[in-house]
Amino acid sequence: MTSSLSPNTQAILLLTAPLIAGRGEPSADLLTQSQYRKLARHLWERQRQPSDLLADRDDDLLEACEPVVDVTRLKRLLSRGFLLSQAIERWQARAIWVVSRADADYPRRLKARLKEDAPPILYGCGEKSIFETGGLAVVGSRHVDDKLVVYTEDIGRLAARAKKTLVSGGARGIDQAAMRGALQAGGLVGGVMADSLEKTVMKREHRNMLMDGQLALISPYDPSAGFNVGHAMQRNKLIYALADAALVVSSDYQKGGTWSGAAEQLDKLRFVPIYVRSSGETSQGLDALQKKGARPWPNPGDAAAFAETLAAKVELSKEPVEQTKFTFLPQEPPVPLPESQLSIDKHPLTQEAPPVELAASPAEALFAKVRELLQSMLTPRTDAEVAADLNVSKSQAKDWLLRLVDEGVLEKRTKPVCYVACTVKKRPLFDQAEQPIVAETTPRPK
Predicted confidence pLDDT, tens digits, the chain (446 residues): 344 799 999 999 999 999 987 655 666 699 998 999 999 999 999 999 999 999 866 688 999 999 999 999 999 999 999 999 999 999 999 999 999 998 999 999 999 999 989 999 999 999 999 999 999 999 999 999 999 999 999 999 999 999 999 999 999 999 999 999 999 999 999 999 999 999 999 998 899 999 999 999 999 999 999 888 888 888 999 999 999 999 999 999 999 999 999 999 999 999 999 999 999 998 999 999 999 999 999 999 999 999 999 998 776 654 434 433 333 333 333 334 444 433 334 443 333 334 444 444 567 678 888 888 888 888 889 988 888 888 888 888 888 888 888 777 888 888 788 988 875 333 332 233 345 666 543 444 44
Check residue 78 and report its DSSP letter: H
Cα–Cα distance measured from residue 382 to residue 133, given in angstroms and rounded to the nearest whole number? 36
Q: Is 396 inside a domain boundary?
A: yes
Q: Is 209 inside a domain boundary?
A: no
**Per-residue pLDDT, 354:** 40
| Backbone phi and psi for residue 104, each to the nearest 5 degrees, phi listed first | -65, -25
Q: What pairs with residue 125 in β-bridges?
A: 217
Cα–Cα distance measured from residue 201 to residue 91, given in angstroms and rounded to the nearest whole number? 11
Select from 388, 385, 383 the least CA-distant residue to 403: 383
pTM metric for this prediction: 0.73
CATH number at residue 366: 1.10.10.10
**Residue at which a domain ends, from 76, 94, 112:** 94
Cα–Cα distance measured from residue 392 to residue 373, given in angstroms and rounded to the nearest whole number? 14
Q: How many CB atoms lie within 10 A of CB 324?
A: 11
Q: Is 99 inside a domain boundary?
A: no
Domain tally for the chain?
A: 2
Using a 10 angstrom Cβ sphere, with 0-12 exposed, 13-18 middle and 19 or more buried, the burial of residue 375 is middle
Q: Is 110 inside a domain boundary?
A: no
Q: Is 67 inside a domain boundary?
A: yes
Cα–Cα distance measured from residue 45 to residue 326, given in angstroms and rounded to the nearest whole number? 10
Q: Which domain holds residue 69?
A: 7-94
Q: Give the DSSP H or E segment for 109.
A: helix 108-114
Q: Is 61 inside a domain boundary?
A: yes
Long-range CB contacts (within 8 A, 24+) of 42-50? 42/67, 42/68, 44/326, 44/328, 44/402, 44/406, 47/398, 47/402, 49/8, 49/102, 49/402, 49/405, 49/406, 49/412, 50/8, 50/11, 50/12, 50/15, 50/102
135 contacts 281 by C-beta, under 8 angstroms: no
- β-pairing, 136-139 vs 97-100, is unpaired
316 contacts 184 by C-beta, under 8 angstroms: no
Q: Is 385 inside a domain boundary?
A: yes
SS3 content of the chain, % helix, strand, coil (to 5): 45, 10, 45
Q: Is 164 inside a domain boundary?
A: no
